[in-house]
Amino acid sequence: MIQTTDFFFPLVDDPYFQGKIACANVLSDLYSFGIEDCDNMLMLLACSTDMTPEQRQWSSKLMIQGFNDQAICAGSKVSGGQTVKNPWPIVGGVATSILHTNEFIKPVNAKPGDVLVLTKPLGTQVCVNFHQWLSKPERWEKINTITNVQECEEAFNYATLSMARLNRVGARLMKKYDAHAATDVTGFGILGHSTNLAQNQLLPVRFEIHTLPIIKHMKKLEDHLNHPFKLLKGTSAETSGGLLISMTRENAEAFCKEIYEIEKQPAWIIGDVIDQSTQDRSNNTSIILENPNIIEVEPNSNF
């Protein structure tokens, strides 16, 4: 049995999409093991006591609907859960799969010479804050000389769709292309999760990240504000981010090509797995190289 749980406060305005994002985020831990099918889901929900009864009813109903619809898209179903009252609304869940040990990919077998693939762009935390600043004039005044409302709305809509996108196709292709190890990229950022993954490898390796695919406009905001989110340092939190996968270069190139053909969304080779030249695994780590290549990912609606 492989089981995972996660939940969080709202980060988008639309409660239906918040439910979809929460469901996708819960499932990504299973997908990072190359597990395509989830046998059962539970929903965790907190209804806001700070809302009026009418607000609480419609927002909770839409979060439930979004979570349920996304579970169905994932080929699973919600069989139960737990609901409580809380000042802030919360939504999340539990995902469970029962399977043989040869039916999933343990995240421990990265090999020197592998490359690292990322299946979603970075910058969701910056983007969510960017959009919130539209309603905070004192914040918007700090950035209105380098951006505009249209850029903000386009980036935020793209980030919302990206966060709601399931990593299920990536999980299926992990098996097809013999992935050696993987994790999903969420709250610890790309550097935090890649470091955790590196430290769990059976071989003494170092992950070197040379490329950062970032949602367009997020880098200029980060630069203009003097890097408050540490996006280029790799520690900016992501929500329902992509899969970070170790595999051979040949397979990685085929993986990136096929995932784009299926989902019309890009994946990128962003780093390398390097031999540590020692038998001591305690030094396993991940680094972002100095002056990494920045790919500005254009917002699109090919979801």
Q: Is the pLDDT of residue 223 over 90?
A: yes
**pLDDT score of 218:** 97
- d(Cα 85, Cα 75) in Å, to the nearest integer? 29
For residue 234, the model assigns a pLDDT of 98
3-class SS at 120? Answer: coil
Query: Which among 83, 85, 103, 101 is positioned nearest to 93, based on CA atoms?
Result: 83
Q: Does 252 score more than 90 pLDDT?
A: yes
- pLDDT of residue 280 exceeding 90, the answer is no
Predicted confidence at residue 42, as pLDDT, reads: 98
Task: Indicate whether 279 pLDDT > 90.
Answer: no
Residues near 149 by beta carbon (within 8 Å), at least 6 away in sequence:
134
Alpha-carbon span 14 to 219, nearest angstrom: 25
Rounded CA separation 285/168 (Å):
27
Cα 252 to Cα 23, 78, 113, 168, 256: the distances in Å are 27, 34, 12, 17, 6
pLDDT of 302: 86
> What's the pTM value of the predicted model, to 2 decimals?
0.96
Average pLDDT over residues 64-93: 97
Q: How many residues does the chain have?
A: 303
pLDDT at position 277 is 81
Mean pLDDT of 2-7: 96
Residue 21 pLDDT: 98
DSSP state of 203: S
**Span 28-34, average pLDDT:** 98
Specify the pairing of strand 205-215 against strand 268-275. Answer: antiparallel
Q: Is 182 helix (H, G, I), strand (E, B) or coil?
A: strand
Measured between alpha carbons, how far is 303 from 25 in angstroms, rounded to an integer?
17
Q: Does residue 126 register a pLDDT over 90?
A: yes
What is the edge-to-edge ordering of all strands in the sheet holding 285-297?
181-184, 243-247, 115-118, 268-275, 205-215, 285-297
The mean per-residue pLDDT over the stretch 59-64 comes to 97
* Residues 198, 77: Cα–Cα separation, whole Å: 33
Band of the pLDDT at 195, cuts 50, 70, 90? very high
Average pLDDT score over residue span 58-68: 97
Cα Rg, the chain, nearest whole Å? 19
Among candidate residues 11, 6, 14, 68, the one with its CA nearest the CA of residue 31: 6
| In the predicted structure, residue 22 carries a pLDDT above the cut 90 | yes
Taking the C-alpha atoms of residue 301 and residue 159, their distance in angstroms, rounded to an integer, is 10
In the sheet with 78-86, reading across from the earlier edge strand, the strands are: 2-8, 90-97, 40-48, 78-86
Local confidence band at 178 (pLDDT 50, 70, 90 cut-offs):
very high
CB-CB contact of 205 with 274 (8 Å): yes
* Mean pLDDT confidence for 183-201: 97
Q: Mean pLDDT throughout 269-292?
A: 93
pLDDT given at position 301: 82
